[in-house]
Amino acid sequence: MSKQLNQVNQSVNQLKEARKQIPPAAARAVIDSVSISEPNDDLFSQVTIFRLKNCLSRLEMNL
């Protein structure tokens, strides 16, 4: 019984850790999508990408 409980606890911890990784991965996907699909030659696109990267950095620091 103790071995099974230990395995369940390990699985729960792995799932919790995986959940933490989802928001940064989603943010990176958005940044990559915007970077690829939008022309980066205008100031608005450059500022948007810069702000998205800053938000991602803050999100990763809070994990």
Q: How many domains does the chain have?
A: 1
To the nearest 10°, the Cα dihedral for 36, 37, 42, 47?
-70
What whole-number distance in Å separates Cα of residue 41 and Cα of residue 12?
A: 46
Range of the domain at 45: 2-61
Q: What's the predicted TM-score (pTM) here?
A: 0.51
- The one-letter amino acid at 4: Q
Residue pLDDT, tens place only, 34-57: 777 766 677 877 887 888 888 888
Sequence-ordered list of residues with C-beta below 8 angstroms from that of 28, at least 6 positions apart, any chain = 56
Q: What is the mean pLDDT of residues 6-29?
A: 82
Q: Alpha helix (H) ranges present in 1-63? A: 2-37, 43-61
Whether pLDDT at 33 is above 70: yes
CA 56 to chain centre: 7
